[in-house]
Structure 1
Amino acid sequence: MSQVNKKTAQMTQLTLLIAILVVLTFTPLGFIQIPPVEITILHIPVIIGAIAMGPVCGGILGLAFGVLSMLKATFMGVSPIDLMFSPFASGAPIQSLVMCILPRVLLGVIAGVLYEVLKSRLSNDALSIGISAGAATLCHTVLVMGCLWFFFSAIPLKEVFLTIVGVNGLLELGVGIVITIAVCKPLMKYLKTRVAV
């Protein structure tokens, strides 16, 4: 496959994953509801793209995820925490932008870099994918919660942190690992056959 065709294929794949992010962000499809908790799967396309296409693509997908989070918080935010992700509603526009963008970009970069390192050291690809997905998800959760605490310390963060990390975070971690392994293994096999053509 020529260099131009590879770039076109990669741009097409990125566009498809961004479209999936848009659908997941603005519809209920991005959330799994198991009362009393709601688990988000919005981060999963970023991790899948980072693992399948590399850390640069992961960073681009993370940027898209951050911008979409900001838009959703601005136009569809309902809780006080949602509104902190909106530079227009939070009262701290720069902090909201940093909180929306930085953890999401790092989510993709960390997943991509970690997978690149692990795939050469571990013989089990599913294990490399699972560790990368889990570590990136955990880093993302810690970074977002850290930004909330650092920028908006007036929030009763202890209760919020315990709820999100204790319940949602662990469930999102498990769901993220399972879905990422299930999607990445066949996707990467398909992408390798497409590149070889």
Structure 2
Amino acid sequence: MEKKLKSSINLSTRQIAVVGMLSAISIFLGISGLGFIPIPPVKATIMHVPVIIGAIMEGPVVGGMIGLIFGIFSVINAFTNPTPISFVFVNPIVSVVPRVIIGIASYYCYSILSSKLGTLKIALAAVVGSLINTFGVLGLMYLIYVERYALVFNISVPAAKKAIMAVGLANGIPEAILSVLITVPVVMAVKKIKK
């Protein structure tokens, strides 16, 4: 049993390279600021897109690993570039767990859909991954830190709850659209190259 489990998580050289390359792209997007696209009145992030692409192309383990590195970067970034809400992102439950789930859920969404759907299944997987990023992080912020969030911004707890939900709605839709617009052509191009 142990031998079977061990062999099921072995990664090929290509998969390890994909994890490194897409993780580096995600981190570069965060460090450079290119991962945040201004769509007034919000800044939509695309830092989770490499996680989705890696998951669709190479499977849930690769997607989860890229998500793990993205999440660890979020924790480090919260310490090195503090903001008023950095306390949220130093908690790995908020900043790491949803990012790992992006890779796993995106892959399974993509793999269970019919191949007859073609590019639509890539788009749906991108939407699922993006929404997990937005609502996973903000949902955990809401559940764990709403009182502290209210204290930081000197607002009532009900106002803090509304503010977090508003951010989720304002960011969720543009981020999902951007994820589709980037993921679909990249995955299609890579699939053509692989043929």
Range of TM-score over shorter length: 0.7 to 0.9
Equivalent residue for 2:136? 143
Q: Secondary structure at the match of 1:84?
A: helix
Q: Which residue identity does 1:103 align to in structure 2?
A: P
Deviation readout 1:173-195 (Å, 9 max, x if unpaired): 111111110111111222x33xx
Using the alignment, how far apart are the partners of 1:185 and 1:179 within structure 2? 10
Cα shift at 1:82: 3.1
Using the alignment, how far apart are the partners of 1:175 and 1:22 within structure 2? 18
Q: TM-score with structure 1 length normalisation?
A: 0.83
Say whether residues 1:17 and 2:16 are aligned partners: no
Moved segments of 4+, more than 6 Å:
none
Equivalent residue for 2:72? 67
Say whether residues 1:161 and 2:162 are aligned partners: no
Using the alignment, how far apart are the partners of 1:166 and 1:142 within structure 2? 9
Q: Gapped runs of 5+ residues in structure 1? A: 1-5, 87-95
Using the alignment, how far apart are the partners of 2:89 and 2:185 within structure 1? 31
Deviation readout 1:56-110 (Å, 9 max, x if unpaired): 10000110110011111111122x2233212xxxxxxxxx111111100001100
Q: Secondary structure at the match of 1:29?
A: coil
> Identity across aligned pairs (percent)?
34
In the TM superposition, 1:109-128 aligns within 5 A as: 109-118=104-113, 121-128=114-121
| Farther-moved stretch of structure 1 (58-67 vs 14-23) | 14-23
Using the alignment, how far apart are the partners of 1:97 and 1:139 within structure 2? 15
Say whether residues 1:186 and 2:189 are aligned partners: yes
Cα shift at 1:149: 1.4
Aligned length: 174
Q: TM-score with structure 2 length normalisation?
A: 0.84
Cα shift at 1:35: 3.5
Q: Which residue identity does 1:23 align to in structure 2?
A: F
